[in-house]
Amino acid sequence: MIRFTDVSKFYPGKIPGIVDLSVEIPDGEFVFLIGPSGSGKTTILRLLIRDLLPTSGNIVIDEYDLKKLTPKNIHLLRRKVGIVFQDFKLLMDRTVYENVAMVLEILGKPVKDIPDGVKNVLELVGLLDKKDVFPIQLSAGEMQRVSIARAIVGGPKMLLADEPTGNLDPETSWGIIDILEEINRLGTTVIVASHNADVVNRLKRRTITIEHGHVVRDEEKGHYHLTKHEKKEPKGGKHDAAH
């Protein structure tokens, strides 16, 4: 369970990231965060991995109260959370296999278990045949699939995806969304920040709309609401600002 209670985050200069956010996300849910660039979507994701601390209010993930979590225990929280970025953040001098295996090495998994762990997630994302190539040899969609494999190989309870289809063509985008849905079916909570109106409208999952740091809609089977300040961006969109 994820619970935000009256959470606000202000950046220097009293710039609002999010304001008075109260929301609960049960285990196993698939949620879209939508809204204009700079509305607060990325702030929410950064708060969930404790990359930021709230200015006020409380965030609880399972047994962890994030404001009370000591720096030496942040790694325990992050074992529960995988994150996928729009710009992939892969190590370009390591193969696909090595990029994914590194996560299991950091988690201290037994060496004998690493090959099977990597094999299983590469099969899930359809890239087992590319395990020995380097990221530079992959398409953008394939690099995003490697990023997803790396995010889930440790078995997190929650997967955060920040504009995962933002740089991809529509057909490739749907391949990524199919993988995220499969991960969700396997029991992982999935939270996707997105400008992709087509994806949001067709999936009809829970949709939380953020504007100027405020939740303006929270719909069980939502769709992409446009504001007068925003144009439709069905193929993705600009990456959310720092807040």
Instruction: Specify the residue for token string 């994302």.
Output: 125
Residues of the chain with pLDDT under 70: 226-243
The side-by-side arrangement of strands in the sheet containing 189-193 is 81-84, 158-162, 189-193, 30-34, 206-211, 214-219
Contact assessment for residue 33 and residue 208, using Cβ atoms and an 8 Å cutoff = yes
Residues 168-177: tens digit of each pLDDT: 888 999 999 9
Per-residue pLDDT, 93: 95
Per-residue pLDDT, 231: 45
Per-residue pLDDT, 235: 42
Per-residue pLDDT, 240: 41
Per-residue pLDDT, 25: 97
pTM above 0.85, yes or no: yes
Contact assessment for residue 222 and residue 186, using Cβ atoms and an 8 Å cutoff = no
Per-residue pLDDT, 136: 95
Evaluate the CA torsion angle 94, 49, 201, 221 in order and state its sign. positive
Per-residue pLDDT, 243: 43
Residue 25 vs residues 5, 60, 182, 218: alpha-carbon distances, Å: 12, 11, 19, 11
Per-residue pLDDT, 227: 54
